[in-house]
Chain A
Amino acid sequence: DGGITQSPKYLFRKEGQNVTLSCEQNLNHDAMYWYRQDPGQGLRLIYYSQIVNDFQKGDIAEGYSVSREKKESFPLTVTSAQKNPTAFYLCASSGQGVYNEQFFGPGTRLTVL
């Protein structure tokens, strides 16, 4: 059953801690994306990767880091430099189809205590 998994679903972080959000896909997609969602602000792009071992900053990359060592995996680390990390984080992927349709995971809700 192909799809995108994100873990954990809920994550709590103390101020000053780094945390890593997991995103795995078994769709054989080349590209993967991380978005942040806040109420009333839609989806804002954090990072994206079009190929293994390469990634680009999105609109709000400050305070975040990523890696893409495997095609299936695109973890996101929220560092202590991110001043307001409480949000809903969505991972997505897209394949070689020309329509650029993105498939989304179920999301991780991060709360800073």
Chain B
Amino acid sequence: AQSVTQLGSHVSVSEGALVLLRCNYSSSVPPYLFWYVQYPNQGLQLLLKYTSAATLVKGINGFEAEFKKSETSFHLTKPSAHMSDAAEYFCAVSGARSGNTPLVFGKGTRLSVIA
């Protein structure tokens, strides 16, 4: 079984500041991990994914995440926030090699960027 906890339902940063969105997971099997972004009234778009090839994963729009097995974490970071980064972000997990099974999502973190 898998589960995801996203710490902080709302994070606010200044434009140009570091973005850090936290995700901790629980999985009884080796996990695959995902970060998705959702803009208002739109579907989810994949930012990046961890599939065991490398622990530091780079995604779109300058985001990256580091898989830390010892901490069961997969935090999302961006060195410098832009106004266009304001959105809701979801962390998700699935069992590696589980085939087409539903992802388990966290409750999401809304990111606000202040000018």
Contact = CB atoms under 8 A, between A and B. Distances in A.
Contact of A100 (B42, B45, B98): B98
Interface residues of B, number: 26
Contacts of A2: none
B97 to A, nearest CB: 6
Given A40-B9, A42-B90, A99-B32, A30 B105 contact: no
Nearest to B97: A98
Range, interface on chain A: 20 to 34
Given A41-B107, A107-B41, A109-B41, A33 B9 contact: no
Given A43-B90, A98-B97, A106 B103 contact: no
A29 to B, nearest CB: 8
B49 interface: yes
B51 A99 contact: yes
Nearest to A100: B94
A60 to B, nearest CB: 12
A106 B9 contact: no
Contacts of B90: 42-43
A100 B99 contact: yes
Nearest to A45: B102
Nearest to B95: A100
A107 B107 contact: no
Contacts of A101: 34, 46, 49
A31 interface: yes
A58 B101 CA distance: 11
A107 B42 contact: yes
Interface string B86-113: 0000100010111111110111100000
